[in-house]
Structure 1
Amino acid sequence: MHLVVCLPMRSLVTQTVQRLQTYFDALKAKKPEVGVAVHQLMGGAIDDEWVGQPDKPWVLVGTQDQLLSRALNRGYSMSRFEWPIHFGLLNNDCRWLIDEVQLMGPGLWTTSQLDWMRRKRFESLKPCPTTWMSATVGQSFLGTTDRVRDALAEPSNEQIAFEGKLKTALNGDAGLKWWRAAKRPLAWWHPEAAAQPTTSGGKKRGAAKSAAATAATPNAIAASVKAKHVAGTLSLVICNTVDMARAVFGALPSANHKVLLTSRFRREDRARHEQRLIDFDAQRKAGGLPEHDPGLICVSTQVIEAGVDISAHRLFTELAPWPSMLQRLGRLNRKGDDQEAQAWVWETPKEGGNKKVERIGPYEAADIERAKKLVEAFASLSQNKAFSEAIAGLNACKQKDALQPKPSPLPRALDVHGLFSTERDVHGGFTDVSAFVRGTDPDLDVTVFWRYWTGDSPPRGKELDGPLLEPAKEGCPVSFVRVQKMIESSKAKAWLWDDEADRWERVNHWDIRPGMLVMFKHDVGGYDATQGWTGDRANVLAEVPRAGRGATLRDDAWTEVGYWSKLDVHLKDARDAAEKLSTALSLTGDTKTAVVEASGLHDLGKAHPQWQAALPDRSGIPNAPLAKSPRVVAADVVGDASVVRAAFASLRPQAHALPDETRRRGREDVVRLRWAIDDRLNEAELKSLRAVTGVRWAGHLQFHPGLRHEVASALAMWRRYQDSETKPYPALAVYLAAAHHGKARTVMRSTTGEDDVFGVRVEPNVLTVGDDQWPLDFSIAKDGAEGRWEGSEFVQTGHGWTGLVADLLGPWRPEETSDAGVVPADEPRQLGPFALAYLEALVRIADWRASAQPSASTKPSEVRDGR
């Protein structure tokens, strides 16, 4: 089983990953046989290595938007073709650990419902339990209608027993008494006395009365922070919005002892800011600061509320809901060794004066008003009492109400069942799951990135030669509302990748939705390395990559692996990998058979003559059907091609030259030079090649055979399944083979508008693999069933693909007993979305492993060397 740690804030992820990595490194040093990998998953830092290792132990730490969107089969910041594998793996063989639940909003209810579905409605193939952790939130989120009906609304006896043992252990721990004695005095911030230092203990006349919110300007806050900051210590300013944080940060003196921390940074910039804060606090605790060190002022948003193990001497915070206030106060005098610490709170200036509003900043007005009453009561108690005593002195009922999670939209069984399909909806888009991830919060993110190109619109076709998008490196999370406003106000153009049309399409501001990957031209601006996303056209990144392609329905990227390999060899390798993987995961019976057989036959369709004819070269293995081909790089040249050949030879001396091609490029006749290579050229190598005299274009050529080979595999497998009295494999294997690239799953359809199924035409209708003939059966590709009318009766003569999927998936209601009659009752069927997607993932992983470690292959460098 794997551990999935779901957290509401990016800053939590960063520190949790660092601490876990330190722990497991120390464990491995003592016990070399124990190896547990730690991975992270958050906007701007996406690590997918865990995906290929379901049979190895790992811990995945991620933000709720990234994790929950994947658990709902709508993964943010990723290709839809990869959704099912993440969906299957995260809903099987994992223990979900949900921490800091008071900050999760609707995501909390979603975790509760997913836990119920995995246990009761769509049972996972392998157990996938959930544990929630919070010191401040009640358990009402466990009492959804579905959980109450299935007796899951109350904590289990094991949970109750564990809680009792934990309380006993904590009460008896002498080391925690010092922490419980920590003082965290809180006072209302007063503009008229902003620059006056407080007396010891923080007492001021009228401290329990809130200041006039309209006077809480960024300049006034910054002046107060500057006046009260103590050299050699950390002052923390927590704002409710990015705009307020940036304004306060900008109003502070232009010195090198301040840092801004928000969620609106690219990964490398955000990491640099976080590390500066963590390093300063560690150095301060160790007594390693220089004698006259000015200290550090950190201006932050909610990203610092929880889990960041720093201890501030001064804390300034905007009034927030009570759970957030508790978390923010937890960053002050964190371990009780700074009893002179002090905190101040100010109110958000209300827009519209005394007019009643529903929201104040990012929060509901009712939550802010409730928090205000508790802050006023806590402020007077906190002056002379320890934090724990002051909290205990508050009215228990008022606290309980403030800490209960609000009822929010939550996914029901019908929703998750419907989300299994990854096809576009009738509007050409996909189901928006943001209401289940973070609700209607205007701070829901899209990921934006910047690329370079000449002209108004991004290039198309072969002109689109830049590197593939790396969201983990170059993406910046931004509120989708902010992106909408920027596009509308500045007339900036935004672009989304169309994976079916294989091009960038312009998107209007009103079409921007959470989770999208949005491309801007570099001169649109909007980003600064110190401030993060600004939306200001004057802030232009100095250097960005050229515009490149995204994943498409037509591409076959896993064919281009740097070597030639025979089809029969790859199929055997995949079968062996699936056998080992299934055994390691304790799969048995027909389920195991389906995974192994699907893996062993998944690429049958590559024997199709059209697919074989599309291969760029066969020099490595000339006289056999191939499954894999090297990567191909090309350069379009005018003039002396020998200069370009010499330049490329210095880059890749072991590349294998392919025959030249003549072609027309614009108004020029060019010679296309091509080479087969072991490994892709990096951006620096491509840049140097493009700079050679005479080169009009240079880049990697993508393999586009014009058909989905996995569909041909499924059509051939279905024919053999239908024709055999003793079934060679379960019907499930046919589906798993078809779905192993995530591009043909719940429907079979034409992609050319002609008589084809995902590009596979009726003729030729037989695949030849060695001495074996595999006829294709197109009847299964029908939507529904195939048959004929005999008088007033319809006689079914063939099953449709939708019927096969419906039988394998099963109904969303347990009481529904009808089925399509495609899958026999004695075979795996009605598996539910979680189990079916998990099996999809295993077949795909077996293919990956076979591709990564072929038992026999030939590289271009070996052909060149004559071996």
Structure 2
Amino acid sequence: MKKNTYGSFEEYFEKATGNKPYPYQKKLATSETPDVLNVPTGAGKTEAAILGLWLWKRLNGNAPRKLVYCLPMRVLVEQTKARVELWLKKLGLDNRIGVELLMGGSDVEIQKLLPDKEYIIVGTQDMLVSGALNRAYGNSPTNWPIIFGFLNNDCMWIMDEVQIMENALPTAIQLARMRDEFKTYGAHKTVLMSATINQDWLETVDSPRDSLSIYNFDMKKDSNESLEKRNKAQKTLFKAPITLQRRYGKEEASKILKLHKPGTPTAVIVNTVERAQYLYETLSKMTNTECKLMHSRFRAHERKALNEYVSKLGENDDVIIIATQVLEAGIDVSFQTLVTELAPWSSMVQRFGRCNRRGNLNDAKAYWINLDQKYHAPYGTSENAYSEKQLEKLEKKSISPHALPNVNEQKFFDAILRKRDILNLFDTASDLSGNHTDVSKFVRSMEQQLNVDVFWRENADEGKSFHRVVRDEICSVKIDSLKGFLQKKNSHGYIWDHVDGRWKKIRPSEMLQGHTIMLDSKNAAGYSDEYGWYPDNNDEVKMIGTIQQDQSPDSYDADPTSKSVRPVTLEAHTGHVIRETNKLTKNIIEIDGDTRKMLQIAATYHDIGKVHCIFQGTMRNGLVGEYDQKTVWAKSQKNTKHKIRGFRHEAVSALAYLEQKDQTKYELRDLVAYLIMAHHGKVRMSLRRFSRKNQDGGKYLLGIKTDGDYLPEFSCKYVNISKSRIDTGIGDMGREEDRPSWVERTLTLLEQYGPFRLAYLEALIRRSDWLASEKETAGEYK
């Protein structure tokens, strides 16, 4: 790791941001990292966290290799990533530190990040927390363990805006404690951050509140003249002359329009997408002032343009932004006038922070709209009642950060992650009905309406091939809204079946948080570039021009990495993977010598199962041109199907390795076998689900004959194996004590290494294999 070349934190911070650091930002960078950071809105928490708590300390050798920056909403993710990239470029660190974005439909394949490289990963709580629970939303189950390993080892997590994260808050606290208990490779740290945090929220069953170190911003000690200007910004609160008792009509819109000060920007924040859309439609017809609609149900393509527009707003721009909670937190924009519906007190404080944010405006005003009880959703009546009392006390008074009372509202979390949950989630096999354990209750509140990602294709149908979805096409939709929409349209959604390797219809009852669902662009439109997800829209959805070549998602029977632009022998590929494994692990000093050796042995044997006649038959069928048919191939130019459905060469490799006699310590042989078995993520903790009959009537387990199958003799520069019987009986429970079953072996490994470290070792082998394959395709090896 290269050392810090900056003389002082002040010099470094000013070069990155163009501004001198506030006193508290320097204090955080040069002292022990707290567990909780409680700092007012507009005080530069993002800079304090990324530049101070992580990057400065990383440059000085005192922080983990990766920063995972977790945010509650997509709009915050895109903006934060752009800021981070600019800071790194100014510091000359953009080639050293990777910046990756992880959100629904993201083009980033986080499983392909390099474990020995430094990264800042910015993402939504849905994607990051589900990934840390081994159920990464929007990703193939085969990739879950790699993401799980990367997000729980050698990482600092910063959870920003935790006041609106619901169950993700206790989940983050519990995960931090479990990393302590189960151990990780590399350091780990979790920091919880907010301008409106109640310390009572921090108590969990395994983590007493007093076990956390809390940094509370002190106006006298932590401020300076510039920051004090923000903290004491002039803005006055008034109750709007509206109580919402119906949908926004012309009367309500007219009153809101009168609150707008011509020649300045106004923000109107309402609590639901539907109300925002209706108010936007009504207001737009009543004024020549430009109106913009902003919410979370736009595709990334349209959302990016909206974000850029809002971020460039000036103090003299005559515009009205009608938005939902997406404008509530994290966006550095300042409005002369703020109009907001009643919401919980922590949300109101965040919304007030968008009014005269920098303290430069005179006569800034904020108005709050009271709500009839039937319009309190998505918030609770008791939460809003507490907030209403606070607002009544502040009528015609200052609502600068300095003047606001502390947050004392209560939160009740309805799902707490426990040790048994994380151990059960380590297994990524589906149940007998083809489903996986749902982790949505640990990611969001069970009372929150859950979301799926949708995208559109022309003539969407089952079994057809479509070009791969990219992030710009993805739109987040409430599951309940999608169900009602499809029922009304008498149409269907389609989901990728990872077992059968095809698109299939999905029933409404099967829709779960994290699913990515394909819709037909004509028969299931429901989207408008201007309004976003809009079930009443019947116009065909416009396709976005970012088209990739046809590429189906992965499936359990597929073996896409065995295709290459040029054939590769098994001997050559084995050598390449050994080389990449040694390079990757060389820089990960936390891995001990025995474990490093096991990784090398796993790399040596990982593809030995490709010697099997079924795999070699497939390779030879895929060769293009004249090649020696007797050569043992690891890759050929075409993807062709195996003669025996469900054949998994990695299972043959693992079982054949267990039959070989080498010098590996007995207690470590199971680790090597597991890393071999799991190196495609398709066979891991159990073998039961892949047992099936084939056309010849024979019984097979993972494509291996259960009544006697053999791997032929093979010898090369790196490995020598004798002809060996493949023991499929290892899939049976209740075997002899000296020949434990596969499940017994893997459960013992899980107990020995813990879920985080075992997944990380798994990820190292898989990443080494991918690196070798990528370089083979590019022709980088001589």
Using structure 1 for the length normalisation, give the TM-score.
0.76
Residue in 1 that maps onto 2:125: 64
Structure 1 letter corresponding to 2:339: F
Residue in 2 that maps onto 1:831: 753
Cα deviation, residue 521, structure 1: 2.0
How many residues align structurally? 697
1:534 partnered with 2:475: no
Structure 2 letter corresponding to 1:273: L
Residue in 2 that maps onto 1:259: 292
Residue in 2 that maps onto 1:513: 512
1:369 to 381, 385, 398: 385
Cα deviation, residue 112, structure 1: 0.6
Structure 1 letter corresponding to 2:677: A
Distance 1:429 1:468 in 2: 23
1:765 partnered with 2:710: yes
Distance 2:358 2:260 in 1: 20
Distance 2:155 2:506 in 1: 38
Q: 1:527 to 1:589 in 2, by over 3 A?
A: same
8 Å contact from structure 1 (residues 424, 430) kept in 2? yes
Q: Within 5 Å, which residues of 2 pair with 1:391-410? A: 391=404, 394=405, 399-402=406-409, 404-410=410-416
Cα deviation, residue 776, structure 1: 3.9
Cα deviation, residue 715, structure 1: 1.0
Q: Within 5 Å, which residues of 2 pair with 1:306-705? A: 306-351=329-374, 360-382=376-398, 387-391=400-404, 394=405, 399-402=406-409, 404-453=410-459, 457-458=461-462, 460=463, 464-470=464-470, 472-523=471-522, 524-536=524-536, 538-543=538-543, 549-586=552-589, 587-615=591-619, 616-619=622-625, 621-623=627-629, 624-631=631-638
8 Å contact from structure 1 (residues 525, 541) kept in 2? yes
Distance 2:778 2:169 in 1: 49
Distance 2:691 2:289 in 1: 57
Which ranges of structure 2 fall in alignment gaps of 5 or more residues?
A: 1-64
Q: 1:630-676 deviations in whole A, cap 9, x for unaligned?
A: 357xxxxxxxxxxxxxxxxxxxxxxxxxxxxxxxxxxxxxxxxxxxx
Distance 1:858 1:110 in 2: 43
Residue in 2 that maps onto 1:170: 222
Residue in 1 that maps onto 2:212: 155
Cα deviation, residue 467, structure 1: 1.9
Q: Within 5 Å, which residues of 2 pair with 1:177-216? A: 177-191=228-242, 212-214=243-245
Structure 1 letter corresponding to 2:653: S
1:14 to 78, 93, 106: 78
8 Å contact from structure 1 (residues 240, 301) kept in 2? yes
Cα deviation, residue 511, structure 1: 2.2
Q: Within 5 Å, which residues of 2 pair with 1:245-284? A: 245-254=276-285, 257-279=290-312, 281=313, 284=314
Q: 1:70 to 1:725 in 2, by over 3 A?
A: closer
Cα deviation, residue 507, structure 1: 2.0
1:717 to 641, 657, 660: 657
8 Å contact from structure 1 (residues 24, 35) kept in 2? no
8 Å contact from structure 2 (residues 345, 407) kept in 1? no
Distance 2:176 2:484 in 1: 37
Distance 1:24 1:856 in 2: 29
| Structure with larger Rg | 1
Cα deviation, residue 427, structure 1: 3.4
Distance 2:119 2:278 in 1: 41
Structure 2 letter corresponding to 1:770: S
Q: 1:167-199 deviations in whole A, cap 9, x for unaligned?
A: 66523x1222211221221211114xxxxxxxx
Residue in 2 that maps onto 1:126: 186
Residue in 1 that maps onto 2:773: 851
Q: 1:179 to 1:167 in 2, by over 3 A?
A: closer
Structure 1 letter corresponding to 2:633: L
Cα deviation, residue 482, structure 1: 0.9
Distance 1:349 1:767 in 2: 76
SS in 2 for 1:147: coil
1:805 to 740, 743, 746: 746
Cα deviation, residue 445, structure 1: 1.1
Distance 2:219 2:780 in 1: 63
8 Å contact from structure 1 (residues 594, 729) kept in 2? yes
SS in 1 for 2:157: strand
8 Å contact from structure 2 (residues 644, 703) kept in 1? no
Q: 1:44 to 1:531 in 2, by over 3 A?
A: farther
8 Å contact from structure 1 (residues 216, 346) kept in 2? no
SS in 2 for 1:431: coil
8 Å contact from structure 2 (residues 289, 320) kept in 1? no
Structure 1 letter corresponding to 2:505: R
Q: 1:780 to 1:835 in 2, by over 3 A?
A: farther
SS in 1 for 2:426: coil
Cα deviation, residue 330, structure 1: 0.3
Q: 1:515 to 1:215 in 2, by over 3 A?
A: closer
Cα deviation, residue 603, structure 1: 1.2
Q: 1:511 to 1:725 in 2, by over 3 A?
A: closer
Which ranges of structure 1 fall in alignment gaps of 5 or more residues?
A: 192-211, 352-358, 633-700, 788-795, 811-829, 860-866
Distance 1:843 1:66 in 2: 24
Structure 2 letter corresponding to 1:133: M
Cα deviation, residue 785, structure 1: 3.5
Distance 1:421 1:580 in 2: 29
Q: 1:387-419 deviations in whole A, cap 9, x for unaligned?
A: 24531xx4xxxx4421x4433311100111100
8 Å contact from structure 1 (residues 180, 387) kept in 2? yes
8 Å contact from structure 1 (residues 94, 127) kept in 2? yes
Residue in 2 that maps onto 1:40: 101
1:26 to 90, 95, 102: 90
8 Å contact from structure 1 (residues 51, 89) kept in 2? no
Cα deviation, residue 256, structure 1: 8.2
8 Å contact from structure 2 (residues 152, 184) kept in 1? yes
Distance 2:411 2:551 in 1: 44
8 Å contact from structure 1 (residues 779, 800) kept in 2? no
Distance 2:449 2:600 in 1: 45
SS in 2 for 1:62: strand
Q: 1:442 to 1:131 in 2, by over 3 A?
A: closer
Cα deviation, residue 437, structure 1: 0.4
Cα deviation, residue 554, structure 1: 0.5
Distance 1:323 1:344 in 2: 16
Cα deviation, residue 348, structure 1: 3.1
Q: 1:348 to 1:43 in 2, by over 3 A?
A: farther
Q: 1:697-726 deviations in whole A, cap 9, x for unaligned?
A: xxxx778874111111111111115x7686
Q: 1:704 to 1:487 in 2, by over 3 A?
A: farther
1:90 to 141, 145, 151: 151
1:745 partnered with 2:684: yes
Cα deviation, residue 73, structure 1: 0.7
Using structure 2 for the length normalisation, give the TM-score.
0.84
8 Å contact from structure 2 (residues 339, 368) kept in 1? yes
Q: 1:352-381 deviations in whole A, cap 9, x for unaligned?
A: xxxxxxx82111111011111111112243
